[in-house]
Amino acid sequence: MLMTSTETTAWILLLDSVLFISVRLTRVLLDMDAKRNIVVVGGGIIGSTTAYYLTRHSKFNPALHTITLLEAAPTIAQGASGKAGGLLALWAYPECLVPLSYRLHAELAAEHNGPQRWGYRQLGCGSFDAVVTRDKIKSLQANGNGSANGSENGKDWEKLPKQNGAAKELLEEGILPKDLDWVDHSIINSWSEMGAPGKTETSQVHPLHFTTAIAELAQQGGAQIHTNAKVTKINSTKNGVESIEYLDRNTGETKTIASVTDIVVAAGPWTNKVLPRARIEGLRAHSVVFDANVSPYAVFTDIQLPPDFIPEHRAKMGQKRRHRGNVDPEIYARPFNEAYACGEPDTNVPLPETADQVECDEAQCDDIVSYISTFSPVLAAAPIKAKQACYLPRHIRFGQESGPLIGRTTVPGLFVAAGHTCWGIQNGPGTGKLMSEFVFDGGAKSADVDKLDPRKFKV
């Protein structure tokens, strides 16, 4: 039976309606599949760069994707990311991550005015040995920098894990630079340096300015940042993550973010608090910031002091020197008229609940100042801007430090990026870039970090 033109038109309209509804339904279903609710735990450099690169990923769609960063402390970068030295180096570790991250630092600086915004620059780097004699100490005593009435009792100085064996082999003997004029050349026995282009280049950023700027850029890109938000629980099943709970320290309320699709734990030394099987431990380190405009060098030292030398502050307290033998403080001239110096790590005080509760042992900071004063008259006379402490995140396996954990865990939708020790600032951009790829692409694209896979350690 033939249809009339009116009936044919009606059928066409009906088919068009069905097709339209089918297309709309398909789009709705696709949109439901594409929606992502991503939570980043931690507002240090790793969490901030992760949030930044998530918002910059080509697949990020602010209409479909929500990115929330939760930081337990009152501000971003209140832990090691705000109190680090800010050294960037092609000789850092792990080798699978360093080249990518070093390159990304340069790209970020070029794109976002890094030299002015966070002090990105290249600098000289080297190491020297020096012997401080009793006569030298006597000349310093008039300025209250030390006492010579001590003994050899004390502990050996423990170096920060900045230079591994491979890095030390890259040092080449050289002539002490003339513009390294903030150290006493007369007591230095030898100088070795790094700086070969493409191999041992060294740069730096101001870590606090860098981390906070990257967090601000992540916010501008669409990420939401909540501070004073201490994560207490991640809820998951064998099928994946479901929700995350956190304590709002402003109100005392426990809040829940439901329908979570992806969680990246980047909480530094606090990673174990929410992901115990990650085995990330905290190692406390003290540092001092001087108000000093000095030539741009990062300097590693090996200083031989008289056995009976006691720092003035220890002598006043009736104490002996804490260290016997040589001491090895590190000093980094920094942008914005600063010089940063760090001492040895310790495990005297357990990791507190949040970064704003870290205890600083001022006497350890004064040790650093006293030791540096024996070979740097410029810094000995410089005002001190800050005495501080932070905890470095170390991934410990079988009693030894291992590389960072970067990638998927055994729980679908749960990722971890932690354990960078003293190279968090250096390796932050590379880690953040890779985490964005793990989330949106299903795997790392920019570097082969298979050996850092958390699943290899049953995380």
Q: What is the mean pLDDT of the chain?
A: 88
pLDDT score recorded for residue 147:
42
pLDDT score recorded for residue 62:
97
Q: What digits encode the pLDDT tens for the residues 391-407?
A: 999 999 888 888 999 99
Q: What digits encode the pLDDT tens for the residues 219-241?
A: 999 999 999 999 999 999 999 99
pLDDT score recorded for residue 245:
99
Would you state the torsion angle of the CA atoms of residues 144, 145, 151, 157, taken in this order, to the nearest 10 degrees? 150
Q: What digits encode the pLDDT tens for the residues 317-343?
A: 888 776 677 899 999 999 999 999 998
Rounded mean pLDDT, 357-361: 97
**How far apart are alpha carbons 205 and 243 in whole angstroms?**
36
Q: What digits encode the pLDDT tens for the residues 79-89?
A: 999 999 999 99
Q: What digits encode the pLDDT tens for the residues 128-170?
A: 999 998 888 877 666 545 444 444 444 443 545 554 455 455 5
Rounded mean pLDDT, 244-250: 99
Map out the domains of the chain with their CATH numbers.
Answer: 36-118+206-280+398-457 (3.50.50.60), 123-198+281-394 (3.30.9.10)
Count of CA atoms in the C-beta half-sphere (13 A) of 26: 6
Rg (CA), the chain: 27
C-beta atoms surrounding 166 within 10 Å: 10
Rounded mean pLDDT, 350-362: 97
pLDDT score recorded for residue 150:
41
Please give the C-alpha separations between residue 221 and each of 34, 217, 259, 305, 362, in angstroms, as whole numbers: 19, 6, 22, 52, 40
Question: Does residue 17 register a pLDDT over 90?
Answer: no
C-beta atoms surrounding 388 within 10 Å: 17
- Is the model more confident about 423 or about 306? 423
pTM over 0.75, yes/no: yes
